[in-house]
């Protein structure tokens, strides 16, 4: 269980490195970094998709017992939904045309942060489910 938890924590933290780099760049330029400045262009949606995809992969690589099949399906379905929605939002945010009314950066940041929190929670749940599965893999 410690190995899975360590991989999960490093996956979440390493996924945030581009945002940390953006924060440092804003500081070096003398700009005031804020959450909206850092994630208003969909930067957090890519790590969100990666974390959700890893959660789905964790579940696909494990065997569900009969009494735990429902929790596998719910957590896997939630992770897949977060993955699909974050990819869709990233496509919408990055394809925004400059001539068209711009996207509201506060809403983009809020949605990105919400999806990220959901992905971390569901990935933690998937990791815990597979870690307590008795080590049964497919």
d(CA 75, CA 57): 12
Q: Please name the residues in contact with 121: beta carbons below 8 A apart, sequence gap of 6 or more.
A: none
| Number of domains observed in the structure of the chain | 1
Whether 60 maps to a domain, the answer reads yes
Whether 46 maps to a domain, the answer reads yes
Whether 30 maps to a domain, the answer reads yes
**Dihedral class, residue 51 (left if φ above 0, else alpha if ψ from -120 to 50, else beta):** alpha
What is residue 60's predicted lDDT score, i.e. its pLDDT?
Answer: 83
What is residue 68's predicted lDDT score, i.e. its pLDDT?
Answer: 75
Q: 119 is in which domain, residue-wise?
A: 2-131
DSSP string, 1-35: -HHHHHHHHHHHHHHTHHHHHHHHHHHHHT----H
Distance between alpha carbon 103 and the CA centroid of its chain, in Å? 21
Q: The tokens of 53 are what? A: 């995809």
Q: Residue 1's pLDDT band (boundaries 50, 70, 90)?
A: low
CA within 13 Å, CB half, 109: 11
Whether 84 maps to a domain, the answer reads yes
d(CA 124, CA 28): 34
What is residue 52's predicted lDDT score, i.e. its pLDDT?
Answer: 93
The string of pLDDT tens digits covering residues 15-62 is: 888 888 888 988 999 888 888 888 888 889 999 999 999 889 888 878
What is residue 121's predicted lDDT score, i.e. its pLDDT?
Answer: 93
Q: The tokens of 52 are what? A: 């959700």
**Dihedral class, residue 137 (left if φ above 0, else alpha if ψ from -120 to 50, else beta):** beta
Whether 33 maps to a domain, the answer reads yes
Cα–Cα distance list, 12 to 1, 86, 124 (Å)? 17, 16, 10
What is residue 9's predicted lDDT score, i.e. its pLDDT?
Answer: 79
The string of pLDDT tens digits covering residues 77-123 is: 999 999 999 999 999 998 877 777 888 889 999 999 999 999 999 99
Taking the model in full, what pTM does it have? 0.84
Q: Residue 73's pLDDT band (boundaries 50, 70, 90)?
A: confident
Whether 18 maps to a domain, the answer reads yes
């Amino acid at each position: 269980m410690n190995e899975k938890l360590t991989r999960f924590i490093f996956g979440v933290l390493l996924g945030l490195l581009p945002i940390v780099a953006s924060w440092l760049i804003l500081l070096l330029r003398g700009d005031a970094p804020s959450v909206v400045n850092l994630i208003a262009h969909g930067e957090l949606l890519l790590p969100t998709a990666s974390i959700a995809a890893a959660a789905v992969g964790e579940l696909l690589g494990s065997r569900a017992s009969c009494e735990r099949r429902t929790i596998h399906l719910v957590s896997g379905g939630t992770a897949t939904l977060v993955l699909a929605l974050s990819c869709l939002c990233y496509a919408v945010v990055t394809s925004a045309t400059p001539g068209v009314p711009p996207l509201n950066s506060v809403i983009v940041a809020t949605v990105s942060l919400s999806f990220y929190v959901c992905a971390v929670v569901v990935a933690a749940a998937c990791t815990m489910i597979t870690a307590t599965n008795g080590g049964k893999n497919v």
